[in-house]
Amino acid sequence: MKTIWIVDDDQEMARAVILMLKLLKFNARHFLNARLAAKELMDNKRPDLMILDISMPDVNGIMMLEFIRRRPEWNDLPVIMLSSESTDIQVDEATRLGADAYVMKPVTLDELENALLSVLKKYEK
């Protein structure tokens, strides 16, 4: 069973996404901020996919994505961006930095499943 990390400071949204992931037969782990998730990555722990909220205090999802993509050992880590805002600038920036998908809050089960399956299929070996 694949493990997905959710990095989102909104606990209610994270709980909803975790429930959806469980319904879709994924393991889920929640991080309240990007620093905690980065520490786990630095400790050589790694998910099969990350879902990053864009709007977080301190270190936002775009900054976390850039951190991930700058490290060769994580270049093949699938990342889905999750946001309640969707400006062309944010989507373009996330895409330029290597986001594999961009979904809007509140995300539905079907939207999440489609994004997950599409992204994971790109990384199948």
**What's the pTM value of the predicted model, to 2 decimals?**
0.95
pLDDT (tens digit per residue) in 54-102: 999 999 999 999 999 999 999 999 999 998 877 778 888 999 999 999 9
- What DSSP line would sit under the chain, residue for residue? --EEEEE-S-HHHHHHHHHHHHHTT-EEEEESSHHHHHHHHHTT---SEEEEES--SSS-HHHHHHHHHTSGGGTT--EEEEES---HHHHHHHHHHT-SEEEESSPPHHHHHHHHHHHHHHT--
pLDDT (tens digit per residue) in 92-117: 899 999 999 999 999 999 999 999 99
Q: Which fold has domain 3-108?
A: Rossmann fold (3.40.50)
* pLDDT recorded at residue 89: 84
